[in-house]
């Protein structure tokens, strides 16, 4: 399906050559660049911060899809916006005022995404969905690449697809974790339009990125 967007997670890239890796996935036909930001507190891993996002920005003109797994989150929004994030997504558990966080992201001129962990129920969407540009369903527990897709999240994707369609708005439904050529079609059938993929994009090295991305689109 041509409307499916593929957002490689650079968490699975070679961190010693990140700029080249971003160029390589851009040239291989990715739609967005997914950047996983972890603080060693909200999730049990530490990755990168706004300085690295800024350094990577000249290496691709594709949207930077920045997934913040940090708590508290509000104090870093401006830094990530200034560094070149286009979409900024956060977890509702990362701060006491998720609605304020959405407002702040939008006031910075960026698109706002809300991320739902595997055990997070949908009621957090009740008073937020109309203000979101993107909903990101975690199909693994956040913190690491290379984990297995949690099947129960397919029902969640289906339920969110119905809620998005009921708004009549252009809200993206993205899935993150354990996406490969077997789970991608399941997530798409459930209603996802954007797939994050780390392991499945970067496996085999740069010569394979284009074929890996095509396979995730179902081509």
In the chain the first and final C-alpha atoms are separated, in Å, by 8
Residues near ligand DX5 (CB under 6 A), total: 21
Q: Which of ligand DX5, Zn ion, none binds 68 (CB below 5-8 Å, type-dependent)? A: none
Q: Which of ligand DX5, Zn ion, none binds 198 (CB below 5-8 Å, type-dependent)? A: ligand DX5
Applying CB under 6 A, does 36 fall inside the site for ligand DX5? yes
Instruction: Tell me if residue 26 is catalytic.
Output: no
Was 143 annotated as part of a binding site?
yes
Q: How far is the CB of 127 from ligand DX5 (least distance, A)?
A: 25
Which of left, alpha, beta for 123 (phi over 0: left; psi -120 to 50: alpha)? alpha
> 141 with 117: CB under 8 angstroms?
yes
Q: Alpha carbon of 172 to those of 57, 93, 107: distances in Å?
A: 22, 21, 19
Q: Give me the residue label for tokens 């967005």.
A: 32
Q: How far is the CB of 9 from Zn ion (least distance, A)?
A: 5
Q: How far is the CB of 174 from ligand DX5 (least distance, A)?
A: 10
> 216 with 200: CB under 8 angstroms?
yes
Instruction: Tell me if residue 207 is catalytic.
Output: no
Q: If residue 37 lies in a helix (H) or strand (E), which one and from where to where?
A: strand 33-38
Which of residues 21, 36, 39, 193 is near Zn ion by CB under 5 A? 36
Q: Which of ligand DX5, Zn ion, none binds 177 (CB below 5-8 Å, type-dependent)? A: ligand DX5
Closest chain position to ligand DX5 (CB): 198
Q: If residue 138 lies in a helix (H) or strand (E), which one and from where to where?
A: strand 134-138
Catalytic residues: 36, 176
């Amino acid at each position: 399906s041509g409307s499916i967007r593929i957002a490689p997670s650079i968490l699975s890239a070679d961190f010693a050559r990140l700029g080249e890796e971003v160029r390589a996935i851009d040239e291989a036909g990715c739609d967005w660049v997914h950047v996983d930001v972890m603080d060693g507190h909200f999730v049990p891993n530490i990755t990168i911060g706004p300085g690295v996002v800024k350094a990577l920005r000249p290496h691709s003109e594709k949207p930077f899809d920045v997934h913040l797994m940090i708590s508290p989150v509000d104090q870093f929004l401006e830094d990530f916006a200034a560094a070149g994030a286009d979409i900024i997504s956060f977890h509702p558990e990362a701060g006491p005022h998720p609605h304020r966080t959405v407002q702040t992201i939008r006031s910075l001129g960026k698109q706002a995404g809300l991320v739902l962990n595997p055990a997070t129920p949908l009621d957090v969407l009740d008073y937020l969905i109309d203000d979101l540009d993107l909903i990101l369903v975690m199909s693994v527990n956040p913190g690491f690449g290379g984990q297995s897709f949690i099947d129960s999240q397919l029902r969640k994707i289906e339920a969110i697809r119905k809620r998005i369609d009921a708004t009549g708005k252009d809200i993206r439904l993205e899935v993150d974790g354990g996406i490969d050529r077997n789970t991608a079609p399941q997530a798409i059938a459930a209603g996802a339009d954007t797939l994050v993929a780390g392991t499945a994009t970067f496996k085999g090295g740069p010569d394979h990125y284009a074929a890996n991305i095509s396979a995730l689109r179902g081509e």
